[in-house]
């Protein structure tokens, strides 16, 4: 006597029709299997989760804690009740072959989905763990896991279709190959993102934590996330800008990592000197400027050198234009350079230069080119402001003027 027909035989003996008895037999067996599978799932899940949790508490590594956090034990616990359901399906639907085939295929498809859930949980746990490793914090771990999951889901979906259609997996793949053009069109952005992620990673173009400026997308801040399709940048105003990953290889952007990894942050700013205030220095002016200790030695040696040259070559100094002379802007330029070289906030091992730019309608720009030793934004701005505070205040001591466009008040004062 078949155990799966015990209830069926009993119902037939009581006078119920064979068809109705078969349906009642299937319904009761199905309900019993579902209840038993649910109980097994609860028991197994509780046991596995408790074992994992206890092991995680005792172990020194935090990887097992992340496994529990990402529900790996819970997903694994579903395997046993699923196997039980697969084994019981032929008994439950013994009289309904068509329904048995549908349920069997559905459970096989769910098996694929469950495997993908387990793989995803493991990858998420691995991803969280790798992000805690110091030398991997700036790597695009999200992109790697997403690439793997895309392949896993693609393989899983194709396998599910092969099960549903009853076609062998290899033959199904061959058939799908003919529709590859449509697949490429549908997943164009994903494919572009995948290729871009690989190039970004291999070429080390962007890391998490890098400060990047991407004018096209209005991004100016730190990279907080790199995944398969997008790169998230937290701007300095705390807004978030999302950039397509493939834009990093198709468009131009600025990565400030070179600055942060170097010994200093560049100061490159100029002030405009009024051309009318530039002149040769008289002996009296040179003697007055010698009181400025930073350039006393320079003026003495420079004046002696110039006087020696002019005397040797019998230069007529009735006109300052003749021979060699000191100018107020030249001495001022030397003073600024000396001041920056002695400033506590500048990196003395990197370039320090004070240069003239091309004169224009707003005077002659005198540019300071140096590097601050502190690269933090606030401290960098403080150092640069401190230098220019001093330089701007020092301008009148050299009988120079800073160029300013006239305002309405200037014309009013002239009229008075």
The whole-number average pLDDT for the span 354-359 is 94
Q: Does the structure show a pLDDT above 70 at 414? A: no
Q: E strand or H helix at 105, and its extent?
A: helix 97-130
Between the CA atoms of 355, 357, 360 and 364, what dihedral angle is there, to the nearest 10 degrees? 0
pLDDT for 411: 54
DSSP bridge partners of 269: 368
Q: Across all residues in the chain, what is the average pLDDT?
A: 83
Q: Which of 289, 300, 214 is nearest to 256 (CA)?
A: 214
List, for residues 31-41, the tens digit of each pLDDT value: 888 898 889 88
Taking the C-alpha atoms of residue 250 and residue 210, their distance in angstroms, rounded to an integer, is 19
Q: Does the structure show a pLDDT above 80 at 306? A: yes
Inter-helix orientation angle 18-58/6-13, to 10°: 150
Task: Cite the DSSP H helix spans in 313-405.
Answer: 328-341, 377-394
Neighbours of 81 (CB within 10 A): 21
SS percent in the chain: helix, strand, coil, step 5: 60, 15, 25
Helix (H), strand (E) counts: the chain: 17, 8
Q: Does the structure show a pLDDT above 50 at 1? A: no
């Amino acid at each position: 006597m078949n155990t799966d027909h015990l209830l069926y035989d009993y119902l037939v003996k009581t006078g119920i029709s064979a068809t109705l008895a078969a349906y009642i037999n299937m319904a009761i067996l199905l309900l019993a299997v579902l209840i038993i599978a649910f109980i097994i799932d609860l028991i197994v899940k509780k046991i596995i989760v408790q074992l994992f949790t206890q092991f995680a508490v005792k172990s020194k590594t935090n990887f097992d804690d992340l496994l529990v956090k990402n529900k790996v034990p819970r997903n694994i616990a579903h395997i046993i009740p699923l196997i039980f359901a697969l084994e019981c399906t032929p008994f439950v639907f013994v009289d309904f072959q068509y329904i048995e085939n549908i349920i069997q295929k559905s459970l096989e498809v769910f098996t694929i989905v469950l495997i993908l859930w387990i793989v995803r949980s493991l990858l998420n746990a691995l991803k969280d763990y790798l992000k805690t490793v110091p030398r991997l914090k700036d790597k695009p771990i999200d992109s790697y896991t997403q690439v793997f999951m895309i392949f896993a889901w693609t393989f899983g979906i194709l396998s599910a279709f092969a099960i549903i259609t009853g076609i062998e997996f290899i033959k199904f793949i061959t058939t799908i190959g003919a529709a590859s053009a449509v697949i490429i069109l549908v997943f164009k952005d994903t494919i572009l993102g995948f290729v871009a992620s690989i190039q970004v990673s291999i070429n080390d173009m962007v890391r998490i934590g890098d400060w990047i400026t991407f004018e096209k997308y209005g991004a100016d801040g730190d990279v907080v996330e790199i995944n398969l399709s997008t790169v998230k940048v937290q701007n300095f105003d705390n807004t978030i800008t999302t950039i397509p990953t493939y834009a990093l290889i198709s468009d131009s952007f600025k990565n400030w990592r070179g600055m942060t990894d170097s010994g200093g942050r560049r100061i490159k700013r100029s002030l405009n000197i009024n051309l009318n205030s530039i002149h040769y220095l008289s002996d009296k002016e040179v003697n007055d400027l010698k009181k400025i200790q930073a350039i006393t030695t320079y003026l003495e040696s420079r004046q002696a050198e110039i006087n020696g040259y002019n005397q040797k070559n019998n230069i007529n100094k009735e006109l300052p234009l003749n021979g060699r002379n000191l100018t107020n802007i030249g001495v001022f330029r030397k003073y600024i350079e000396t001041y920056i070289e002695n400033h506590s906030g500048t990196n003395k091992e990197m370039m320090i230069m004070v240069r003239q730019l091309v004169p224009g309608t707003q005077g002659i720009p005198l540019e300071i080119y140096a590097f601050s030793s502190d690269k933090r934004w606030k401290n960098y701005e403080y150092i640069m402001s401190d230098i220019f505070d001093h330089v701007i205040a020092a301008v009148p001591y050299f009988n120079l003027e800073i160029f300013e466009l006239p305002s309405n008040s200037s014309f009013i004062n002239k009229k008075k």
